[in-house]
Amino acid sequence: MANTIATIAEPKGMAVSSVLAQFECLHSGFGASFQDFGRSGYRHLGVPISGAADKLSMACANALVGNANEDCVIEISMQGPQLLLTQASAQVALVGDIEAFVLFPNGHKQRLPSWRSTTLEAGQTLLCTKVNSGLAYLAVAGGWNAQCTLGSHSYYGRAELGQGLRSGQTYGVNVKAQLPDSLLTQTKIAERCAPPFEFDSAALRCVAGPQEDYFDAESIDSFYSQEWKLSMQLDRMGYRLEGTPLLHNALGAEIASDGVCVGAVQVPPNGIPIVLMADGQTIGGYPKIASVITADIGRLANLRANTSGASVASVRFAKVSLPEAHAILRAQKAAFEDWKNSIKPVRDLGDFDSETLLAHNLIGGILRGDE
């Protein structure tokens, strides 16, 4: 059912349209879902946090269209949706290694680059095709107005919490993003761009798990010294690793179920670790040898086989202390703020390519050579 069309008051110092953009989903894609920062406060009831698997990339996409870091986006893991803008205009931004295009009513197709915002007009279709590697995020100015359940727009498929992306449905946006006056041109937000945020390529850093003592020194050393491959058995709930199995000591391979967190590295009786991800369960009965730190969860989420399944990512782990983990997260937040400051308006001239020029009627008449 189409969302109710609302009118909004004009925020101080900003000109906005009285009609919000509406998108018709022509194709929902594969592995695409609405996500935000997740739902907190319900883990004691067995409800996972969910939310974007890579919250930093989500924040980057939102920043490019002037949203708050936590506004709702579309997370894409395999193939993105096809979205027809049916009314008003909308500014969108993609972050990630994804192929995307804008389809004009006249049939022309223009490539849509990542790491910049683009303004769509009614009648244009956004075609998000395959993700070449990792994850991609699609933000719209104002944020996607997906159903809010338990305080979050995030979709959790196993329990059908939130609103899934469905072909044939219509999705709206929330109020327009509030950008500084310097980035506004009449009633249209200036398009903006920035270089890709550079992730650290070092080993995934971990703090010791609460059951590290269930493993002897040799197994702990094996966990941190060997190169693990990511299994094809991975999803938003957890990433299973492949490598030399870890041996539990005399304390055993099972525990009384206790709380787990995103990033927890469980080691079941077969000795093959599983890293819990955004949709991971809230309790578990296997010893946890380590926990991937918050700053590196997004990087792990992007390490996955490509769309053809031809390559398998590998990872290494490095142990850090809890104070070091806090310092790393603070440094990452500072780096993100520096990156946000690098966002600049797209120039009116100089950024056009042949595809952009072909999409417009640049000839208003015919002149003789002597005129």
Q: Which alpha helices (H) appear in 65-160, and where do they start and end?
A: none
Whole-angstrom CA distances from 205 to 231, 317, 319 are 19, 6, 6
Q: Which alpha helices (H) appear in 185-341, and where do they start and end?
A: 217-225, 294-301, 322-341
Q: Which two tokens stand for residue 230?
A: 């990511």
Q: Please report the domains of the chain, with CATH numbers, ordered by start residue.
A: 22-195 (no CATH), 204-333 (2.40.100.10)
Q: What is the pLDDT of residue 243?
A: 97
Q: What is the pLDDT of residue 19?
A: 67
Angle of CA points 226, 230, 231, to nearest 5°: 125
Q: What sign has the CA pseudo-torsion 320, 325, 330, 335?
A: positive
Q: Residue 106: phi, psi to the nearest 5? A: -80, 5
Q: Which residues, in sequence order, are CB contacts of 60 under 8 Å at separation 6+?
A: 95, 115, 137, 194, 197, 336, 339
Angle of CA points 72, 77, 83, to nearest 5°: 60
Q: Which two tokens stand for residue 145?
A: 């107005």
- Residue 29 — left, alpha, or beta (φ > 0 → left; ψ -120 to 50 → alpha)? left
pLDDT digits (tens, 9 = 90+) for 56-112: 999 999 999 999 999 999 999 999 999 999 999 999 999 999 999 999 999 999 999
- CA–CA dist 58, 40 (Å, integer): 18
Q: What is the pLDDT of residue 221?
A: 98
**Below-50 pLDDT ranges, the chain:** 1-18, 177-187, 306-308, 310-311, 348-352, 355-357, 359-371
Q: Is 216 helix (H, G, I), strand (E, B) or coil?
A: coil
pTM: 0.85
pLDDT digits (tens, 9 = 90+) for 26-43: 999 999 999 999 999 999
Q: What is the pLDDT of residue 202?
A: 83
Q: What is the pLDDT of residue 15?
A: 38
CB atoms within 10 A of CB 142: 24
Q: What is the pLDDT of residue 194?
A: 84
First to last CA, the chain: 57
Q: What is the pLDDT of residue 198?
A: 80
Give the CB-side neighbour count of residue 1, counting CA atoms within 13 A. 3
Q: What is the pLDDT of residue 369?
A: 46
- CA–CA dist 129, 122 (Å, integer): 20
- CA–CA dist 206, 291 (Å, integer): 5
Q: Which alpha helices (H) appear in the chain, and where do they start and end?
A: 55-64, 217-225, 294-301, 322-341, 354-358
